[in-house]
Chains A and B, each alone.
Chain A
Amino acid sequence: MPSLKTMARRERRQSRFQGGHSLCRGCGVPIAVRAVLNSIETPVVVVNATGCLEVATTRYPATAWNVPWLHVAFENAAAAASGVETAYRALRRRGALPVDGPMTFVVFAGDGGTYDIGLQALSGALERGHRLLYVCYDNEAYMNTGIQRSSATPFGASTSTSPAGLESFGKLERRKDITAIVVAHHIPYVAQASISHWQDLSDKVARATSMDGPAFINVLTTCQLGWGHEPRLAIRIARLAVETCFWPLYEVVHGRYRLTEGPLRKLPIEAWLRPQARFSHLFAPENRRWLAEIQPQVDREWEDLLARCALDASASDAAREPPP
């Protein structure tokens, strides 16, 4: 379990990701990036999908990356990373690596590059079993192009392509369960994490990179512009997503679901919605009925997850018991 001191020492030794990038003031994305990169022991190679992170960290001729970094396009980060990882295996086998030794291949892609346009490449890479850690920084919309809805955008959120208006309460559809989709690929490690819970995220990265196969971590990452909150509230709002059970922290190890951090008490979903301008229209009297739909959605997903975790826990217990 990496501690903050261990992570800080690693960054002190080698800052894998530098300041001086042009991501927004108070952006959640670099928090996720640093937590991930500082939790990995081996040398790291990063593959990045097109998005805020890529655009704002590599304006030619400068780069914020102090590790090998590759960007090809939007929808193919997992595929490009497959090639890099395969090249590593091929070169290592014939002793032709420039620097020999273990390496960790990390993909960073936003929710658009993961849930939507990059889903096929992700699926292919997972099925082929490349040893990659795929990190989705999920800020729940296409932020790089100006806050358009993605299939990760929650029900009711107002975005520039699902705007709340006289005839609309924002996004009409619920977000897709990307974790379940990824789990269906039978990969060894899948997890959901949040930038607010650094220890949980860091532990997950450590477990993910110890697996012999693909690993996927979906990290809830705030966007002050797209979500409409004061920059300074980023961590507080990410934490509220966890505490309201909108974004439970769990992992799926070899198909077994397990909660990694349960809320001590479950807050009502409005506690998370209220500080964000993208949901403010839901609090208008005419939209109350849509607002009222959200709590049962969250409750149902949370209960399903708890049931799933309980089932898998009893299954592992049963597996441990000696036969009668």
Chain B
Amino acid sequence: MAHRTLELPPAEAVGTRSLTGSEAVAHAIRQIDPDVMAVYPITPQTPIIEMVARFVADGRATTQIINAESEHSAMSAAVGAALAGARSMTATSSQGLALMIEVVYIAASMRAPIVMAVANRALSGPINIHCDHSDSMLARDSGAVQIFAENAQEAYDFMVMAPRLAEHPDVLLPVMICQDGFTISHSAEPVSLLADDAVRSFVGEYRVPYPLLDVGRPTTHGPFAMPDYYFELKRRQGDAMDALAHVWCDVAGDFAGVSGRPYGLHEAYRLDDADRAIVVLGSTAGTVKDVVDELRCSGERVGLLKITGFRPFPERSIAAGLSGVRSVAVLDRALSPGGPAPLLAMMAAALYGMPVALRSYVYGLGGRDLGLDHIRRVFTELKVARGRSAVRYLGLRD
């Protein structure tokens, strides 16, 4: 393999610089300096693990990297390391997440607080390397927390927050920090980094309640549960996800104190007096914001509800945020063949009983671009929306 030199900013530099989403996340990992990172390369996540490997090779991070022979093993090793008592991370995309998925469910049930950097990418087939959210949707019911970033700054910020979310004693769950593949992961834009010391003191020490390596207090992890206990154990696991909402408030509050950047599990953008709104995940929210501003200039009462917390889904605050809106368009970057698209289904449940028209749009599969025109069209169609309508496809050659 040809030697490549990655251009790395000096460690002590703090401030705003131009970074891709991958680089921003890799810097967060360097600053957190987890004990173990178990990885396997896959586009478009690979730049993250390459950069972390370079940091370690140059002595700028002390993380033990496990170059696993598959994502399944990478996630399995992360579970072993996390439960052993070491702060553990991994990174993946698409087929890699698909291969991991068995272990993601198990990690959540074993309450392994693994931070997972995800660069979202379409699932095969056909094989495609570009962005959509089908990989995250595959993990929807796994029990892992899923936080979606709109841009590189959010990807960095959420990554810094992730250990505290994952490791909170009421949570102890895998946390996926999702950024749109290529659109964010490979696009450079200004990112403001915190000082290394600030990150280290923000994340604190790693603690799990029953570290496997405590040979003086041996514990059995991963037992066999019959119908007499399985249900209770799964319900017990559900508490962890329920706890995340208040834990998010604490962690995001502390983070705002350090960074000056406050975050909620959703973002209401110009919704106060809106009669029409778009609901969307990830980088598309930025494009929608521009269209909202433009239409607002011409007096249209439109707004955006960006979903940051996909799991847990902040159902009540979303409903409250949309309480005055007459019609809502849900933009899904994934399909659920034979059923409503995933985000639409959740929104329909969240808005149940509210006098609001709901429109379903699917867009952007396999990296298909979503232009400003598409979004303008959605807002126009919302003017006449009544009740529920059949799904529409944005940017598809009909």
Chain A: residues with CB nearer than 8 A to chain B? Answer: 43-45, 47, 54-55, 58-61, 63, 65-73, 75-76, 78-91, 93-94, 96-99, 103, 120-121, 123-125, 127-128
Contact = CB atoms under 8 A, between A and B. Distances in A.
Contacts of B106: 72-73
A75 B213 contact: no
B333 interface: no
Residue of A54, A75, A123 contacting most chain B CB atoms (<10 Å): A75
B285 to A, nearest CB: 35
Given A97-B213, A98-B85, A83 B77 contact: yes
Nearest to A48: B222
B329 interface: no
B148 to A, nearest CB: 27
B35 interface: yes
B166 to A, nearest CB: 16
B237 interface: no
Given A71-B223, A79-B77, A127-B69, A84 B84 contact: yes
Given A69-B218, A83-B78, 15 more contacts: A45-B213, A59-B226, A68-B221, A72-B76, A73-B102, A73-B103, A79-B76, A82-B66, A83-B66, A86-B36, A88-B213, A91-B85, A91-B86, A96-B85, A120-B73
A31 B68 CA distance: 32
A83 to B, nearest CB: 3
Nearest to B230: A60
A125 B211 CA distance: 22
Contact of B220 (A65, A78, A124): A65
Q: Which of B38, B63, B102, B220 has the most CB of A within 10 A?
A: B220
A81 B218 contact: no
B336 interface: no
Given A76-B103, A79-B68, A90-B64, A70 B35 contact: no
Nearest to A42: B215
Contacts of B213: 45, 68, 84, 87-88, 91, 97-99, 103
B224 interface: yes
B35 A83 contact: no
Interface string B211-245: 11111111111111110010001000000000000
Interface in B325-343: none
A308 B15 CA distance: 64
A128 B66 contact: yes
Given A68-B215, A120-B70, A86 B77 contact: yes
Interface string B190-225: 000000000000000000000111111111111111
7 contacts: A59-B223, A70-B222, A79-B72, A82-B66, A82-B73, A124-B68, A128-B66
B80 A82 contact: yes
Contact of A65 (B36, B110, B218): B218
B215 A99 contact: yes
Contacts of A47: 80
Interface in B273-295: none
Contacts of A99: 213-216
Contacts of B38: 82-83, 86
B304 interface: no
Nearest to B220: A63
Contacts of B35: 87, 90-91, 94
B353 to A, nearest CB: 40
B147 interface: no
Contacts of A73: 76, 102-103, 106
Given A67-B215, A72-B80, A60 B225 contact: yes
Interface string B18-56: 000000000000000001101000000000000000000
A123 B72 CA distance: 13
A96 B79 CA distance: 18
A60 B85 contact: no
A68 B218 contact: yes
A87 B81 contact: yes
Contacts of B64: 86-87, 89-90
A88 B103 CA distance: 21
B218 A67 contact: yes
A80 B85 contact: no
What 5 pairs between A and B have smallest CB-CB spacing? A83-B80, A124-B69, A83-B77, A79-B73, A87-B86
Nearest to A64: B220
Contacts of B72: 75-76, 79, 121
Nearest to B105: A73
Q: For A87, A98, A121, which residue has the most chain B Cβ atoms within 10 angstroms?
A: A87
Nearest to A59: B224
Given A86-B36, A91-B85, A69 B220 contact: yes
B223 A84 contact: no
A87 B86 CA distance: 5
A55 B72 CA distance: 22
Contacts of A91: 35, 84-86, 213
A83 B229 CA distance: 28
Contacts of B81: 83-84, 86-87, 90
A134 B67 CA distance: 19
A69 B222 CA distance: 8
Contacts of A75: 72
Nearest to A93: B62
A157 to B, nearest CB: 27
A97 B80 CA distance: 15
Contact of A70 (B212, B215, B229, B233): B212
Interface string B80-102: 11111110100000000000001
